Structure 1
Amino acid sequence: MMNGVDKMASKDKFSTMSLDDAMMLAGFGTYNILHMLMSGVILMGMIMQSLALGYILPAAQCDLSLTLQQRGWLAAIPFLAIILTSYFWGWLADTQGRRPVMLFSMIISAVFSVFASFSPDIISFGVLQFISAIFMAGSSAVVYTYLGEFNNLRHRDKMVAFGSSFVGIGTVILPCVSWLILPQEFAFPISFLDIYYRPWRLLIVACAIPFALASVLLLFAPESPKFLFATGQHADALEVVKKIYAVNNRAPAEEFPVKSLSTGNFLYKASDSKGIAAIWNSMKEQTIPLFKMPLVPWTLLTCFVQFGIFATTNGFYVWFPSILNSLANHDGGETKICDVLDASKAAAANGTDVICDDTMNTATFERSIYIGLVFCSMYIIVGFLVDFVGKKLILLTILSVTGLCGICAHLAYNQQLAVVLFAVFQMSGACIGLMNAVAVELFPTKFRAMAICLSMMMGRVGSMVGSNLIGMFLETNCGAGFYLFGGILIVNAICCLTLPAKKTIQPSKMINVESTQNQTHEPV
């Protein structure tokens, strides 16, 4: 910490400075940690809203008269909304600002989630959930950028990584909240809607609470200094940096030595074309080269691998509570997962007057919490190992092992072993970040953001396709689903053999991070 004499001596030296240098001078501390926690709450709300239907739909199947295929379509709604609207939200955040886009989208998403909790039938439920998911996608497309732009270059990656860990925390909190709410037995009649307000409806509202809390916190947060600077609001950007400095150093903002921000190396340039034409030209310039040599093999590889990982992880996760619940309710001897599921379907088919059972066994929530904890730990383990053994070896190992575990989970007769294998099967999701890191090194800086955005979009297509295919397989041929998606992960591992070895991947050059173009779509 500089004393008063040093500050005065360096006043002229620091009077004008680039935004990145000013951020470095503002330091790292309390402000950055609090901002990361707020962003983490947004990420936690996003993952809870995306995956909550896995717990809600089994409990709502009687009230809404849902078949397995209908549950598959409903579970795919959040992923479909993200696929359809991510580019729009990214463009809107680049033109209108990160903070207003997130604030507006989270409030509207939470409001429509509350409306969805009063849905009397499947049509209204699906429509309201889709509208809520569209606005949920707004924060999904922007939050990583908003988090990164409040940290200097030295600490940015670390803080984004810590913020991302809230995704794993969300997979633990979601079954905890479900365990607290779903076993309750209240049913309040609402006559004008002809419904009973039961626990699954309350769970929809509970999963929107993180967005409501984050909206309140965001009211007290400023706009991103990078966006303010990019749009010519240099004085406002400097005020934000001063605030970061004041909180981190516990000093008055007036003591910050930088009095103005220089624009000499700034690369942002407004496009001559406007509106849709500007968006189309930008996307075309950055997308077409990805499908030409020498980049097209890497484009196809990253898209296919992300498709397989998302289809397996998210596709099965939305059915995970249903499968665990069927296993927990099974009273017979040792048998395979699919035999338990087929037996429950056969019992329903043979009955002439079947009573719908939408109760959730408490063992389902307990096992889901354990698996969420393992999922969180996988991120930490991969983070420690990646610098020692390299991304390629980790990808090969995790994808091949999880693929084999998926196949073996179908073949195992011991229920506990089957659940463990099934849990390991879900751990392929830890490779999503690794594939993004590989893409950073495979693609030139100019096309890197679009390449990652494209591969992540294909991954979300995989989530939607996977959840529907798995629902169809559970209805017709349960074992085929495990063989198909386990096999896809093994094929993904084989494809990763073509990746350059650790020593041959050239380190990427320093990226100029001042431009806001494409930064809102996906985290690099």
Structure 2
Amino acid sequence: MALSDKDKTVEIFTVEDEKYDKSDAIHFSDALEKTGFGIFNYSIILLGGVVMTCTLYETASVGFILPIAECDLNLTNRDKGILSTIGYVGIIVSSHMWGFLADTKGRRAVILPSLFMGCAVSIFSSFSPRFWLLIVLKFTNGFFISASYATFFVYIGEFHIDRTRTGAIMAASCIFSVGAMLLPVVGWGVINQNWSLPLPFLGIVYKPWRLLILVCACPGILAVIILLFLPESPKFLLSIGKKEEAIKVIKKMYRWNRKSGDLQINDIIPEKDTTVQNLSEPSINTSSSLLKAFLNTLWKQTVPLFQKNLLLSTVLICNIQFWMYVTIHGMFMWYPFITDIMVNAMSSNSTSNATRICDAVHANQLKLVTEEDHHCVEQLQDKTFIYSVTMEFCFFVGFIIIGLLDRKVQKNCILFSLLFVFGVCGVLTNFIYNATVALIVFNMFFLSGAGIQVLSGITIELYPTHLRGMAVCISMMFGRLGGVAGANAAGFLLPYNCELTFYIAGAGLIASAFSTFLIPKVTHSEKMVS
């Protein structure tokens, strides 16, 4: 296929278009198999865990910051809603572009610079003197971190064979869970301190909540350092016709894992889902021609996802991703707020064992309306952080279990179980009057987020190499839309109709659970060249 004779040309070749000497060539999956599983794979897995941790810290930390920064920045409820979701808006706006660049320029080529820029912007936002500037910087931060999170799933998947791919993603998710468990610990250690540092040249008083923003940029810096030592995806290199470079990467994997000898490979046969693209430079250098070429190529990368053979899969994956993010990112923005209210209600009420979550939320809203002087929150209750650590530990255990089940149970069944069971927990939250049990079920509700990694594994297997990055990024874009919708809907509904918030989110997860059985199942034999 070609855009035009004048613009950038994109030629597509299938595996069948190229002839291979069967006696001298080796299938791509077999080549990966020969590299073994060792230090290189562990490094990729570590990178994945740190990248996911970076994304979580940059987005979820806002939930801990909002109650504390309210008075410093003179935040209204509307301002809180904007600040809690503006990072997701940046992610949504950039997702399509990053997916295109990941499929045309490379996985590593996208992750490395975007991580660096995201960290730099986050550091600057820590010193923001005005609310509007913090909004701009958080939007920009979301714009950049969108690339690393979505592209990572493709990057780690393409260094592993079918048998180890989901296990590798789940192992990275376990590292992510450890990082997630540390977030409330870090939040407790940083936010709940009584100190301030006047910075008159910036017109601000530097307080612990600002330091938390700075600390949350550290995982991104670590990810950049790790990625400097890792190569581009060999499968992507094959897809753009750079066979020699792909062979070098595979040999590097072999040396890292085996520690001795060299892998003898003269030729590689790509998997059947690998479409070889030949990208030539545009012959006209005007900005209009470059823009036209970019948009035309972007269109050609996107349209196949919504054509007949992939349309149903794309719609289902985007819908499931949307509802998972409504919960794990949208409603989670209010997790510290709700948990802190419940902990306060339990400590101040002698009949604390008869407190529903929504009753506590309504009581808090009534208190705010009737009080003349609004009390500024300087610290969060210690138990709020304890409940958060407990939930993240459950994520850690869950990822281990999913990794062990992957070889024995189909991913669709695992995803169904996660969405259905924890969706039911969301609905049951409205019917539990024991405060302790209610908080436990409330925490279980968010464990549906473990399905994001499972769904990403399904997506990687379902789409061909040249569309894989775009598919993951578009599904994540719909997920972030769910995060924005969930955070704003919860902020609007919780004070006035708290129960409806949990009914909608729970029902969305349950409906998504049943739709998982409509997603096609891909077997290993379908990916290989006959």
Classify the TM-score, shorter chain.
Answer: 0.7 to 0.9
Q: Check if 1:322 corresponds to 2:337.
A: yes
Give 2:50's match in structure 1, choosing from 37, 41, 50: 41
How many Å apart are 1:386 and its aligned residue? Answer: 6.0
Deviation by residue 1:86-122 (Cα, 9 ceiling, x = unmatched): 2211222333333232221111111111111111222
Aligned position for 1:281: 300
Change (3 A) 1:303 1:142: closer
Aligned position for 1:305: 320
CA distance in 1, matches of 2:60, 2:315: 28
Bigger mean CA deviation after superposition, 87-96 or 263-272: 263-272
Give 2:450's match in structure 1, choosing from 430, 438, 452: 430
How many Å apart are 1:322 and its aligned residue? Answer: 1.2
CA distance in 1, matches of 2:62, 2:85: 9
| TM-score (ref. length: structure 1) | 0.83
Q: Give the 3-state SS of the residue equivalent to 2:373 in structure 1.
A: coil
Aligned position for 2:276: 268
CA distance in 2, matches of 1:410, 1:218: 45
Aligned position for 1:257: 264
Q: Read off the aligned partner of 1:268 and give its amino acid letter.
A: V
- Describe how 1:66-215 pairs up with structure 2 within 5 A: 66-152=75-161, 154-215=163-224
CA distance in 1, matches of 2:230, 2:408: 38
Contact 1:56 1:200 in 2 (8 A): yes
Q: Give the 3-state SS of the residue equivalent to 1:477 in structure 2.
A: helix
Q: Read off the aligned partner of 1:102 and give its amino acid letter.
A: I
- Describe how 1:43-58 pairs up with structure 2 within 5 A: 43-58=52-67
CA distance in 2, matches of 1:302, 1:406: 21
> Which stretches in structure 2 are left out of the alignment for 5+ residues?
1-20, 283-292
CA distance in 2, matches of 1:459, 1:23: 31
| Count of aligned residue pairs for this structure pair | 492
- Describe how 1:376-395 pairs up with structure 2 within 5 A: 376-385=396-405
Deviation by residue 1:462-505 (Cα, 9 ceiling, x = unmatched): 11100110011123332321232223334444556x748xxx96
CA distance in 2, matches of 1:176, 1:114: 20
Q: Check if 1:406 corresponds to 2:415.
A: no
CA distance in 2, matches of 1:446, 1:224: 12
Contact 2:459 2:468 in 1 (8 A): yes
Q: Read off the aligned partner of 1:87 and give its amino acid letter.
A: H
Q: Read off the aligned partner of 1:379 and give its amino acid letter.
A: F
How many Å apart are 1:362 and its aligned residue? Answer: 1.1
Contact 1:375 1:427 in 2 (8 A): yes
How many Å apart are 1:31 and its aligned residue? Answer: 2.0
Q: Read off the aligned partner of 2:263 and give its amino acid letter.
A: F
Q: Read off the aligned partner of 1:351 and give its amino acid letter.
A: E
Contact 1:287 1:447 in 2 (8 A): no
How many Å apart are 1:370 and its aligned residue? Answer: 0.3
How many Å apart are 1:161 and its aligned residue? Answer: 2.9
Change (3 A) 1:84 1:13: closer
Change (3 A) 1:192 1:346: farther
CA distance in 2, matches of 1:309, 1:262: 37
Contact 2:154 2:460 in 1 (8 A): no
CA distance in 1, matches of 2:478, 2:337: 26
Contact 1:290 1:447 in 2 (8 A): no
How many Å apart are 1:212 and its aligned residue? Answer: 0.6
Change (3 A) 1:207 1:227: same
Q: Check if 1:352 corresponds to 2:367.
A: no
Q: Give the 3-state SS of the residue equivalent to 2:205 in structure 1.
A: strand
Aligned position for 1:5: none
Task: Report sequence identity in percent.
Answer: 35
Change (3 A) 1:234 1:392: closer
Contact 1:441 1:508 in 2 (8 A): no
Give 2:526's match in structure 1, choosing from 501, 507, 510: 510
Deviation by residue 1:325-356 (Cα, 9 ceiling, x = unmatched): 12222312322222322333333322333332
| TM-score (ref. length: structure 2) | 0.82
Bigger mean CA deviation after superposition, 410-419 or 270-279: 270-279
Contact 2:60 2:332 in 1 (8 A): yes
Change (3 A) 1:392 1:409: same
Q: Read off the aligned partner of 1:187 and give its amino acid letter.
A: S
Aligned position for 2:287: none
Contact 1:271 1:278 in 2 (8 A): no
Q: Give the 3-state SS of the residue equivalent to 1:184 in structure 2.
A: coil
Bigger mean CA deviation after superposition, 135-144 or 408-417: 408-417
Aligned position for 2:386: 366
Q: Give the 3-state SS of the residue equivalent to 1:220 in structure 2.
A: coil
Change (3 A) 1:358 1:471: farther
Change (3 A) 1:111 1:451: closer
Q: Give the 3-state SS of the residue equivalent to 1:355 in structure 2.
A: coil
Bigger mean CA deviation after superposition, 130-139 or 432-441: 432-441
CA distance in 2, matches of 1:505, 1:16: 29
Q: Read off the aligned partner of 2:47 and give its amino acid letter.
A: M
Contact 2:26 2:268 in 1 (8 A): yes
Contact 1:15 1:257 in 2 (8 A): no
Deviation by residue 1:293-325 (Cα, 9 ceiling, x = unmatched): xx54x6554443332222122222111111111
Aligned position for 1:222: 231
CA distance in 2, matches of 1:438, 1:90: 17
Deviation by residue 1:368-397 (Cα, 9 ceiling, x = unmatched): 000111122223334445666655665555
Bigger mean CA deviation after superposition, 264-273 or 471-480: 264-273
Change (3 A) 1:228 1:485: closer
Change (3 A) 1:341 1:89: same
CA RMSD of aligned residues (A): 3.4
Q: Give the 3-state SS of the residue equivalent to 1:196 in structure 2.
A: strand
Change (3 A) 1:76 1:343: same
> Which stretches in structure 1 are left out of the alignment for 5+ residues?
1-11, 514-524
Change (3 A) 1:300 1:250: closer
Change (3 A) 1:98 1:507: closer
CA distance in 1, matches of 2:521, 2:505: 30
How many Å apart are 1:446 and its aligned residue? Answer: 9.7
How many Å apart are 1:510 and its aligned residue? Answer: 3.0
Bigger mean CA deviation after superposition, 155-164 or 411-420: 155-164
